[in-house]
Amino acid sequence: MNWKMFAAAAAAVVTFGAGDALAGRDLDQIRARGNLLCGVQGPSNPGFGVPDAQGRWSGFNVEICRAIAITIFGDPNRVQFVPVTTQSRFPALSAGEVDVLSNNTTWTLTRDSNVNRFNFPAITFYDGQAIMVPRRLNVTSARQLNGATVCVQPGTTTELNISDFFRANNLRFTPVVIADLDEIRRAYDSGRCDVFTNDFAALAAQRTLLTRPADHVILPERLSKEPLAVTIRQGDEELTNIVAWTTFALIDAEEMGITQANVEQIAGSSTNPVVRRLLGVEGNMGESINAARPDFARQIIRTFGNYGEIFERHLGVNTPLGLERGMNNIWTRGGLLYAPPAR
Amino acid sequence: MSSTTTAIMPPSRGIIPLPGGTTARGLLIQAGLLAAVIALGWWFWSNAQANMARQGLQFGYGFLDRSAGIPIGESIIPYTPADTYRKALTVGLLNTLRIAIVGIALCTVLGILLGLARLSTNPLLRGLTGGYIEVIRNTPLVLQLVFWHAVILQLPSVRQALNPVPGFFLSQRGVKMPALIADPALYVLLGTLAAGALGWWLLLRRERARQVATGERRSTLAPGLGMLLGLPALGMLAGYVPTVEWPELAGFNFEGGLTLSPEFFALLIGLVVYTSAFIAEIVRAGIQSVHKGQWEAARALGLPPGRIMRLVILPQALRVIIPPLTSQYLNLTKNSSLAVVIGYPDLVSVANTSINQTGQAIEVISIFMAVYLAISLVTSALMNWYNSRVALKER
Amino acid sequence: MSATTLTPSAPVQAAPRGPSFAERATGFLKACFDGPLNTAITLGCLAVLWFAVPPFWAWAVTNATWNGNAQACREAGGACWAFVREKFWFSIFGLYPFEERWRPATMITILVAMVIASTIRRFWTKWLFLAWAIAAPVMWMLMQGGILGLPYVQTRQWGGLTITGVIAVFGLALGYPLAILLALGRRSELTLVRWFCTAIIECVRGVPLISLLFMAAIMLPLFMPQGVTIDRLVRVLVAYTLFTAAYMAEVVRGGLQAMPKGQYEAADSIGLSYWQKMRLIILPQALTITIPAQVNTFIGLFKDTTLVVVIGVFDFFTTLRAALGDPNWLGFPTEAYLFAAFVYFVLCFAMSRYSQNLEKTLRPESR
């Protein structure tokens, strides 16, 4: 047995990480490795990240990661997708098994604090806990759910929120608590529960997998605020900037009306300095955030389109998920998407 | 856990000496081991404390008295999310014990029946049972549990619940049945039942002593049954009639009465079916281990077949059966922790949620490991005691 | 219950070159229909078969769909084996990168070859141990890569039957030596060593495997210094190895105790040291006579690899269940479960038959 191989094996299974990251350390590692390790919800999350039979991933969260790869490498294919579960995502990120989490993780104080040492450069999706019921129950508000049986995933804030909601409204409920999301969806689908609760987007995704998706409605109440953001480790300002400005570029492009179809034409003809800076026609935006090329935003939009286009392609009303833009619309159209200007 | 093994434990044969025994070298080895264990333990402990401190946690069981906030679907004792973690874990433990006790009773019965069917002279029955046992034994329990859960969820919905017997409703929400309200009348009923059973047992003992002394056999069925049913009847005549709560469909679900959830049933069926297949093989091997001459001798004495089984074969077979049967009982209890896969709130499943909510991983895991060890030790002790009784009757 | 239905040691197999077919057939019929009770049992069995087999056959074969998509399956109304076909390779390799699938395929090939070699008695020498000791790290490095120009694939991307094999084989390969040490330690004269080994064996056997898996997944990282992390699959293997070792140790201990005392005394009398005695005299015999029990234990341990689902490792069964979530193929859980059950059954049944055959061939020699 070759001792070098042994040492390599040992080093691979036990990782010794330094306590605190130095500025740019993570980014240097990613560059040296030649690809970005992107944690996505496994085994699959319809609309957000789904592997095909060859293991190729597609979805909203997947394209966010590919866009980040464009910013870092100028190449959307230099990403390796790593499936993580709700319970394993944070250990995986802390341990360096992934560089970024793009898996519907909620930005909260504890996660952002010095305790857990994570960083949330930009919000990619505004969500909130919601309740789904079969249409035939004729329920229009969560307050009519006294005595209902509720399917809920354990060990998350979801479980505590629903319990608090029923207590606060003086209602009783019977919980059915199953850890596996697929199993709990099957339980709800078969009628084991009257109610299925989860984050709104996740519920919409799960609804597409029900036997008759159209027979189920998601009630208007939101039990919590869930801003979903790409998550990285604390301490790498350069990676923070890259993730943040990749997201902002997508949002700004939509606000300015730059789409996959017209990006080249606008880059060639626009006289608006903000647009010209965003698309790398003038200024040094790419250089200032350490992107692989000055026109990274142009390349991203050419490849995937702006935020709205990505949203509509994977989550929008014409997809099985059928989500309205709602809060996830540009601020000028009544949504919450409001990105800093590229100046 | 769900292993097919029955530990091989022949009688201890004395210990093989290591070089040196208690000599200097032996002492050195032991001292080295002790030092290594202590050092490793201390290293783990100091790391754990540092890690917990970084996460703002402190080692201790104080969190047990905090309000848990976690909802639990079914409980023998009253429980609300406002109760403490201590109460939540107790609910989990009681649920584990409930499934283990019911499961052990049922799998013993089913296992014996299957074991006897496996020995039948009827080739068709023998073949069918054999095939069934092989299939069950050679597929993973997790798979079977998921399967049974799916089967039970195919039952009709609450509104179309099957109602085979008045007061009993069978649907995908489980079984609803009438419940007895805990009032003085119920305690009178339970007390008189217990007194009746005790009376029958005393009678049985006296008759057995009589049979040994005189050789005469008298049936205890009529007076025994009279006591068992008569005493509660007297209690009811005296006005202590327990109140029955009937389940009624109200709103989303049935209200009142007693509920046995589909998760409970799926887990129970899964565990019983799986374990009884192993018990069947143990029973078969046990009965086959009794020499053929015993049958012939008993038959020559003119004993009827039922009594040959009960008085001659079984006592001898039990000596072979009890030790592996004990491991199967323990396996069933440990396997009940797979409840977490289908969402039955047993100890491990409540503990897992508690870890996620409190972060007190070491404390919670230490609690449920200690509980399982205790259950294992108590079961082993009980079965060893029974085994020694069986063994004493030998000759 | 009549005595005849309980006659012990019913001859299950016909004797070689026994009665003619006609005689056997009449014997069979007679056994089925002698007496009213037996006839009732026979009729009951036939009824069970009548109600179970034809509908199942119609579903699984006559109306089944072998090719095509989910729509074709729903129209045919029978079993959708096309779903299993579609997801077959996914259930073997999981989410392992597509271009690199030759690596798990090669690993499985090596694994199968090693297992087959290990079943042949001629190869039961110390060289087999050595072969495993070399093959195991080679298989791991092949899967993980990062050397010899193979791209690095982290263990989180391993899945399917591959990871089931990895867990079972590495659990056994690492747990077996540990089991021998524990078994020897439990019979040691040194009190502390004996207590220590007994405590480990009994504690591990006294708790469910999933509690060990939780411990490895959640507690082990807490025990490491800051900045040191252990790969998740390695943590699973730690728990599984410990579990394997404790159960195997009891089997090995049975073998050690079954050794006649004379073997120990003879070894002592020719002046062998403790380790020489164990390595050359006792262990080869004790391990050989317990091989059937070891195989039986391993069957149980192999089925238990499915428990890794509780900590989110995608083994064969979990991968298949994950495939059920494919929006294009909704609603075929029965097919997936039957396929999984079939695969586990074939593997476990083969092992148990092998162990029964061994038991027969080993018996005359070891007594």
Clarify whether residues A25 and A122 are in a common domain.
yes
Clarify whether residues A194 and A118 are in a common domain.
no
CA atoms within 13 A on the CB side of C333: 20
Q: Residue A191: which of B172, B355, B356 has the nearest Cβ?
A: B172
Please report residues of A whose CB lies closer than 8 A to that of B356.
87, 154-156
Mutation target among C2, C218, C250 for the B interface, most CBs of B within 10 A: C218
Smallest CA–CA separation between B5 and chain A, in Å?
30
- Specify the pLDDT at position B11: 40
Determine contact, residues B74/B264, Cβ cutoff 8 Å: yes
Clarify whether residues A156 and A25 are in a common domain.
no
Work out the percent of chain C whose per-residue pLDDT is above 70. Answer: 93
Q: For chain A, say whether B338 makes contact (Cβ under 8 Å).
A: no
The tokens for C103 are 């690596």
Task: Give B350 or C19, the one with higher predicted confidence.
Answer: B350
The CA dihedral of A269, A274, A276, A279, to the nearest 10 degrees, is -120
Q: Residue A17: which of C133, C227, C326 has the nearest Cβ?
A: C227
Work out the percent of chain A whose per-residue pLDDT is above 90. Answer: 37
A298 domain-assigned: no
Q: For all residues of chain C together, what is the average pLDDT?
A: 81
Asked whether the predicted pLDDT for residue A282 surpasses 80, the reply is yes
- Specify the pLDDT at position C344: 92
Nearest of A209, B130, A122 to residue C10 by alpha carbon? B130
Q: What is the CATH number of domain C83-366?
A: 1.10.3720.10
The average pLDDT across C111-117 equals 85
Task: Give A157 or B298, the one with higher predicted confidence.
Answer: B298
A320 domain-assigned: yes
Clarify whether residues A146 and A161 are in a common domain.
yes
Determine contact, residues B95/B74, Cβ cutoff 8 Å: yes
- Specify the pLDDT at position A10: 53
Q: For chain B, say whether A42 makes contact (Cβ under 8 Å).
A: no
Q: For chain C, say whether A29 makes contact (Cβ under 8 Å).
A: no
Number of domains in chain A: 2
Clarify whether residues A219 and A315 are in a common domain.
no
A100 domain-assigned: yes
Determine contact, residues C352/C296, Cβ cutoff 8 Å: yes
Asked whether the predicted pLDDT for residue A12 surpasses 60, the reply is no
Determine contact, residues B258/B178, Cβ cutoff 8 Å: yes
Domain range summary for chain C, segments of one domain joined by +: 20-76, 83-366
Clarify whether residues A25 and A77 are in a common domain.
yes
Q: Residue A115: which of B56, B146, B263 has the nearest Cβ?
A: B56
Clarify whether residues A104 and A234 are in a common domain.
yes
Q: What is the pLDDT of residues A34-80, one digit of tens each?
A: 889 999 987 778 889 888 777 788 999 999 999 999 999 999 999 98
- Specify the pLDDT at position A99: 92
Determine contact, residues A325/A308, Cβ cutoff 8 Å: yes
The average pLDDT across C104-119 equals 85
**How many Cβ atoms sit within 10 Å of the Cβ of residue C40?**
11
Asked whether the predicted pLDDT for residue A119 surpasses 60, the reply is yes
Smallest CA–CA separation between C151 and chain B, in Å?
33
- Determine, for residues B143 and C207 on separate chains, whether the beta-carbon distance falls below 8 Å: no
**CA-based nearest residue in chain C for residue A209:** C327
Mutation target among B83, B252, B263, B337 for the A interface, most CBs of A within 10 A: B252
List the pLDDT tens digit at each of the 395 positions of chain B.
444 333 444 444 444 444 445 577 778 888 888 899 899 999 888 888 888 777 777 788 888 888 887 888 888 888 888 888 999 999 999 999 999 999 999 999 999 999 988 888 888 888 899 999 999 999 999 999 988 888 888 888 777 777 777 777 888 788 887 777 777 788 888 888 898 889 888 888 888 888 888 877 777 778 888 888 888 888 888 877 777 777 777 777 777 777 788 899 899 999 999 999 999 999 988 888 888 888 888 888 888 877 888 888 888 888 888 888 888 898 899 999 998 888 899 898 888 888 877 778 888 888 988 999 898 888 888 877 887 777 655 44
Q: For all residues of chain A together, what is the average pLDDT?
A: 86
B 178-237 residues inside an 8 A Cβ radius of A = none
- Determine, for residues B253 and A148 on separate chains, whether the beta-carbon distance falls below 8 Å: yes
Total CB pairs under 8 A between chain A and B: 95
Q: Residue B143: which of C9, C264, C306 has the nearest Cβ?
A: C306
Q: For chain A, say whether B342 makes contact (Cβ under 8 Å).
A: yes
Contacts of A204 by beta carbon, 8 Å cutoff, 6+ apart? A47, A218, A315, A321, A322, A323
Please report residues of B whose CB lies closer than 8 A to that of A94.
none
Q: For chain C, say whether A85 makes contact (Cβ under 8 Å).
A: yes
Pairing between β-strand B174-177 and β-strand B258-260 as defined by DSSP bridges: antiparallel
Nearest of A95, A100, A166, A91 to residue A131 by alpha carbon? A166
Determine contact, residues A236/A21, Cβ cutoff 8 Å: yes
- Specify the pLDDT at position B17: 46
Q: For chain A, say whether C311 makes contact (Cβ under 8 Å).
A: yes
- Specify the pLDDT at position A14: 57
Clarify whether residues A109 and A243 are in a common domain.
yes
Nearest of A39, A41, A117, A45 to residue A80 by alpha carbon? A39
- Determine, for residues B1 and C304 on separate chains, whether the beta-carbon distance falls below 8 Å: yes
Reply yes or no: is the peptide bond before residue A43 cis, omega within 30 of 0. Answer: yes
**CA-based nearest residue in chain A for residue C95:** A55
The average pLDDT across C194-214 equals 87
Contacts of B40 by beta carbon, 8 Å cutoff, 6+ apart? none
Clarify whether residues A245 and A319 are in a common domain.
yes
Q: For chain B, say whether C101 makes contact (Cβ under 8 Å).
A: no
Dump the DSSP string for B157-213: PGGG-B-SSTT-EEETTEEEE-EE--SHHHHHHHHHHHHHHHHHHHHHHHHHHHHHH
Please report residues of A whose CB lies closer than 8 A to that of B72.
175, 177
Q: For chain C, say whether A187 makes contact (Cβ under 8 Å).
A: no
| CA angle in degrees (0–180, nearest 5) for A91-A93-A96 | 105
- Specify the pLDDT at position C160: 86
* CATH number of the structural domain spanning residue A151: 3.40.190.10
> What is the reported pTM?
0.83
Please report residues of A whose CB lies closer than 8 A to that of B153.
186-187, 190-192
- Determine, for residues C140 and A53 on separate chains, whether the beta-carbon distance falls below 8 Å: no
Q: What is the pLDDT of residues A286-332, one digit of tens each?
A: 888 888 888 999 999 999 999 999 999 999 998 888 888 989 999 99
- Specify the pLDDT at position B12: 41
Q: Residue C8: which of B47, B292, B355 has the nearest Cβ?
A: B292
Query: In which domain, by residue range, is A201 found?
Result: 129-224
Distances in whole angstroms, Cα of residue B96 to Cα of each of A126, B17, B271, B368, C100: 40, 43, 12, 11, 45
- Domain end: A208, A224, A240, which one? A224
Nearest of B389, C157, C79 to residue A92 by alpha carbon? C157
Clarify whether residues A115 and A133 are in a common domain.
no
Q: For chain C, say whether A9 makes contact (Cβ under 8 Å).
A: yes
Smallest CA–CA separation between C97 and chain A, in Å?
6
Nearest of A204, A212, A205, A233 to residue A39 by alpha carbon? A233
Mutation target among A5, A13, A78, A82 for the C interface, most CBs of C within 10 A: A13
Q: B102 burial class (0-12, 13-18, 19+ CB within 10 angstroms)?
A: middle
Please report residues of A whose CB lies closer than 8 A to that of C324.
182
- Determine, for residues A162 and B71 on separate chains, whether the beta-carbon distance falls below 8 Å: yes
Q: Partners for A (CB, 8 Å, 3+ pairs)?
A: B, C
Clarify whether residues A110 and A133 are in a common domain.
no
Q: What is the pLDDT of residues B323-365, one digit of tens each?
A: 888 888 988 999 999 988 888 998 988 888 888 777 788 888 8
A107 domain-assigned: yes
The tokens for B127 are 């073949």
The average pLDDT across C239-259 equals 87
Clarify whether residues A168 and A36 are in a common domain.
no
Asked whether the predicted pLDDT for residue C112 surpasses 90, the reply is no
Determine contact, residues B115/B283, Cβ cutoff 8 Å: yes
The average pLDDT across A168-189 equals 86
Q: For chain B, say whether A117 makes contact (Cβ under 8 Å).
A: no
